With several copies, the nearest count.
Chain A
């Protein structure tokens, strides 16, 4: 089978045509090392600084506050470990949430093994943190608050501006993992009082293996990768110019097109959500009904298991993802779905469809036609569903 309808854009996106065209010259023609003095290297240097400006503009930062990394995970690790190490004489407490990406959670676990204390805020049934709870967990030794901008599974958007205000009021640094948000929802680090922000190229039509971290001027961060003087000595390594150019272009395009594209996606997303909920009994929407990413649809179907759904979808050329334990390889269903209070069984039967610019109304209609059949086919095999049917009868 080949994939005909790709609805897993939260996992990764294809590189956009304009981005592809922009990066091509940086492999064989403008290959110079940006740190050198000769002519061909100047092209690299210029491209690097242009991309930095594009990225900065997209999130309301200053150009010199952007540092390129190899992706969202590296940016997350750098933010947490970098601030923790830089401020270790000031305090050892970090506040984050139970629904962060593993790049945050596993880094926090590492920090806990190394003398730091971490508060994992719970979330409500829609996946939102409670601001009072955040504020009351602040201690004198709190050095960092890290709350993701938008969740990768259920799409819930946090009240980032409010969090920023609380952090500022208490003089605590605020990091946000905006990997799912950059290019998809409006971000302004100044207005939202964000001190550090992570992003990743391949979530918005840029290449994989490139990311950036915004670090507000004056915020102390210990480097994660030591070596050469690149990125103002904050991140060593010969610059991935093609990747950097691609990220810059992707951010620029996404920002410029955001309002139009969001309108289009909201329409498709809500069609998809309401269509499924209508057609399939025992289904529920995960995440916030309105404060959610414009392309995110995450629905749980009781009595069935996610991986089976993905395989049946794949068989008809549809790519999607699930929070099922069976797809994670870890035997635990998604920690995010557990955190919003889903019972094990229901978390198992979750399906995430994430739309982006490649998706059309036709795609949505096709999926809306097929999903009820697939769910029914699996339910007909399910002993749990049998019980329900029997009970009713």
Chain B
């Protein structure tokens, strides 16, 4: 197992670590199976993500994908933000070792959870966004088979 240089860069110098006190949306998801947790804060103004921050309890890949995902969504519209999938995050990081693919799902799900929180608070619907689940591992059961 070896991480790419990009992954190591985002792990060693993670962007956007922290909290947004008056966040427009907050999402927290956990992978009950491997025990990892990620929390995302979004600041949204005029339908655009002005700022994003995260906190993550997880491996190098979990930290790096959190960092990259928050970087990617900044400045995007809500609809565009949905396109920041785990696949997109992984590609932006030059890939992940096969056993670490599930960590990237954590980032996608946390982002979606924060968007969902925002939509709930503002009684709106974001096209294509579903309610977050408790244990994201159920969603991605079969993605990391060897």
Contacts and interface: CB of A to CB of B under 8 A. Distances in A.
In the complex, A touching B, CB below 8 Å?
yes
A240 to B, nearest CB: 20
Nearest to B30: A383
Interface string B1-41: 11100001001101001010000000010000111111100
B55 interface: yes
Nearest to A343: B35
B131 interface: no
A249 B85 CA distance: 44
Interface string B60-83: 111100000000000000000000
13 contacts: A308-B11, A331-B33, A332-B34, A333-B35, A344-B35, A345-B35, A381-B56, A381-B63, A383-B55, A383-B56, A383-B57, A384-B57, A386-B55
Contacts of A329: 1, 99
A37 interface: yes
Q: How large is the interface on B (under 10, 10 to 19, 20 to 34, 35 or more residues)?
A: 20 to 34
A331 B34 contact: yes
Contacts of B95: none
Given A37-B1, A311-B60, A325 B55 contact: no
Contacts of B102: 331
A382 interface: yes
Contacts of A311: 3, 8, 11-12, 60
Interface in A253-290: none
Contacts of A344: 35
A149 interface: no
Contacts of B36: 305, 326, 348
A326 B38 CA distance: 14
Interchain residue pairs A-B with the least CB separation, the first 4: A326-B59, A307-B59, A383-B55, A383-B39
B58 A326 contact: yes
A33 B127 CA distance: 49
A143 B144 CA distance: 33
B6 to A, nearest CB: 14
A303 B17 CA distance: 16
A383 B34 CA distance: 16
A341 to B, nearest CB: 16
B37 A384 contact: yes
Interface residues of A, number: 29
A383 B39 CA distance: 6
A326 B99 CA distance: 9
A383 B35 contact: no
Contacts of B57: 303-305, 345, 348, 381-384
A88 to B, nearest CB: 25
A324 interface: yes
A381 B34 contact: no
A383 B8 CA distance: 21
Given A305-B35, A326-B34, A381-B17, 16 more contacts: A42-B2, A232-B146, A305-B36, A311-B3, A311-B12, A326-B36, A326-B62, A331-B34, A348-B35, A348-B57, A381-B55, A382-B56, A383-B37, A383-B56, A384-B37, A386-B39
A37 B59 CA distance: 12
A372 to B, nearest CB: 18
A315 interface: yes
Interface in B90-104: 99, 102-103
